[in-house]
Structure 1
Amino acid sequence: MSKIEKVVLAYSGGLDTSAILKWIKKTYECEVITMTADLGQGEELDGLEDKALSTGATKAYVVDLQEEFVSDYVFPMFRANAVYEGGYLLGTSIARPLIAKRMVEIAVAEGAQAVAHGATGKGNDQVRFELSTLALAPHLKTIAPWREWDLNSRTDLIAFCEENGISVPVTKEKPYSCDRNLLHLSFEGGELEDPWSEPGPGTYQMSVNPEDAPDKSEVIVLDFEKGNPVALNGQALSPAKMLAALNELGGRHGIGRLDMVENRFVGMKSRGVYETPGGAILQRAHRDLEGVCMDRELLHLRDTLIPRYAEMVYNGYWFAPEREALQAFMDKAQETVTGTVRLKLYKGGVYPLGRKSPYSLYNPDLATFEKDEVYNQADAAGFIKLHGLRLQARQPFLNKIKG
């Protein structure tokens, strides 16, 4: 491959990418352009452009992608009810394809020969970034310093930054690797590497401890259209503003905390602490509304596909044809998921109180325990008998096996 003259680096301003910016310039003797995706990190972005330039970048992009992130990535994923291994709402996973997409777009516009990321050789993010790049711009080379350099620990990185006059926000007292966006905040490293250790006081920043949450519950109302939340307490909100508002509500009531050991795509188990206050509310409300307006067999079929869809997102296959095809199915299944859910928020819990939909399949005349004129209970005897035929036919053979 021809000499690399220009690289676009996915840059957060944290320990890893700060060291990487300087390392790439030294190692490849090339121009480095940074790209920072504003996905709702807030104050973490303050001064980031100046920091990148002072560290050696020739150009620094800070791109506001909040609305695109929620509308085109988070909401499609939530329409699929994606949950990884029973708990993780995929806050880091779903951000990576969008970051990669914007990084590739800038690389093409700037005439760069390569892109770079700060993901380690042990993690999932390297796979997510690079599979996305291969799907969108396979001609670009990817530089992954964690797989090349001899800085083999966070301690080494801190020392490298100190030697090169780079200020970093990570200390030995708070050695967490964090990822924050509008959907969540995650923590890895430090005492969390021992799965028996309780998370330290530096974790959980988006939400109060449920024990310290208000003693009075709060009731909210969410309106949905085709599986997407469109209004909160009667007020129409854009996707990003909706998630931000739900984060504030969930954080106030200690909602959305998760501490789990998960299976990484690269083959190892890892322990992470996640906060997803708004996402937890959204997922619970959406699931509850589906109960009243989705056909039984469609819902059951969709549920069998949730783990597969979640794996696609977790493993980095957002731009793969199988995820796109499965998304079409998920969205088709959401055509009637329109309506309203009323929920109570209280000390870490989200409790649906009521739901209604213009497409409701709930028939009170059928469901009632009182006298009705539409359901003949005697019909159930034949239904049960027919469904029991195969079980009944099997019984003699079971007796022979046991005998």
Structure 2
Amino acid sequence: MLPPRMVVLYFEEGRPVGIDEQRLNFVKLVGELNKIGLQYGLPWKASVESRPMGKGEIEWNLTPGVDVLREAMCRLRAASVPPRMHQELFRFNAQLAEDIVRGGLHNTTTVAYINVIRELCVNVTGSVELTFYPGFVRASRPKPDRPVTVAEAPCGHLPPPKNALDSVNALIAHNVVGQAFRTEKQMREHYNWQADQCTKAF
């Protein structure tokens, strides 16, 4: 049984640039994360997409177990989610992202972690701690070098946050593809708010 292993992933303006104390180019960074993931039985593979401006983007493709995939597809169909949105829902799920940033534990076959972490770290210069366990990984909340504000994010209409965690949660909550797996409590609050707005309109 492998002992837990903590890795610190560093970001500059929202993109990962190094692991632990090493500054790595994208190819080496992806290779290192792949190697660690395989050691811990995580069925992922990562690749690098180069961009003209010289920056890259890490995209994680997971191979979910049959049972996990079947359960997730049933939930998507029950929520009347169009098939074209299924892939995006797996990648940017608001509830899972919120749990991850708060340090929750999850089976890695259900969500592409690095995509979610990058979504959480839009414009963040700082670090995220990944703790690998056999079969799953825990991600800490981002630790920015300076406070992150909604004004720095691409959604100018969001309310000002009380802290950086509120900021990233607000960004993800406004990502339309992340709404299908809202908790029952969140859905009730949403519908109650809509009803209040309709009442005020009359």
Normalising to structure 2: TM-score of the pair? Answer: 0.41
Structure with greater Cα Rg = 1
Higher RCO (CA-CA < 8 Å; seq separation 6+):
2
Normalising to structure 1: TM-score of the pair? Answer: 0.22
